[in-house]
Amino acid sequence: KQEVTQIPAALSVPEGENLVLNCSFTDSAIYNLQWFRQDPGKGLTSLLLIQSSQREQTSGRLNASLDKSSGRSTLYIAASQPGDSATYLCAVYNTDKLIFGTGTRLQVFP
Amino acid sequence: DAGITQSPRHKVTETGTPVTLRCHQTENHRYMYWYRQDPGHGLRLIHYSYGVKDTDKGEVSDGYSVSRSKTEDFLLTLESATSSQTSVYFCAISAPSMATNEQFFGPGTRLTVL
C-alpha cells in the first residue's frame, strides 16, 4: 500500500529564506506527483505536477524535483514571503488514485 | 481557477438524517472525485467517477454513495449521517490523460453531524 510522508509537519521561517519541503513515498511505481497549496479554510490549489519521466518542474519561485528510485520529492521555495504561509501537500498518482501526504504547515514571518 | 463549485458550503445536520452534497463543474472533465479531509489523516478518497454512470469506491467508501447522471454533476450521499462523518469534503476533477491526471479541487463543504 502506498504511503506518503511529509517532513517537517510544521516550519516557521523569517521572510527571505530559501526553504525545502520534503515528501517521501513507499512505492516508486507512480505516474506523477503533484504539489498543492492549501490556505486555512480553503480548497487546494495545484502548484506543480511532475510526470514520472521528469526530474523537475519550475514555476516562478517554486521548483519541485522528483527522484522515483529513492521515493522522494522536494519542493524548493526561493526568497520566501509572508504570502507563502500555507499548508503544502504532496500527492502521488498511483494506479488510478491520488494518495496524499498529511502536509507541511509553513509560516513565513516578516 | 477551474470551474468547480460545491454546495452547500456549510451544513449542520443531526445523526441519522440523509445528506447530499453536490459538485458541479463547467470544464467537461471526465473524472470527478470526492475526498474527505480530517486532522491527522490528510485527504482520503471516498468515491470517484470516470464517466456518466461510471463510479468506483475509494479508500473510505463505507457509509457513502455517489451518483453521476450528467458529466457536470457528481453527488455524494450520506444515507444516514453519523458523527464520524463530520469532516470537510472536497470535490476534484481531472482531464482524461493518464500521463498527467492533474487534479483540480473545489472550495470544499464543511459538514457537521451532531
The residue assigned the cell 476534484 is B92
User: CA distances (Å), A2 to each of A100, A109, B55, in order?
Assistant: 10, 35, 22
**Residue of A53, A100, A104 to mutate when probing chain B, most B C-beta within 10 A:** A100
Calculate what percentage of chain B has a pLDDT beyond 90.
Answer: 80
Angle at B4 between CA B61 and CA A103, to 5 degrees: 60
What per-residue confidence (pLDDT) applies to B99?
57
Whether residues A43 and B102 touch (CB distance < 8 A) is answered with no
Indicate the SS3 state at residue A41: coil
Low-confidence ranges of chain A (pLDDT < 70): none
The strand order across the sheet containing B73-78 reads: B4-7, B19-25, B73-78, B64-70
Whether residues B44 and A100 touch (CB distance < 8 A) is answered with yes
pLDDT band at B2 (very low <50, low <70, confident <90, very high): low
Question: Within an 8 Å CB–CB cutoff, is residue B41 touching chain A?
Answer: yes
Closest Cβ–Cβ partner in B58, B102, B106 for A46: B102
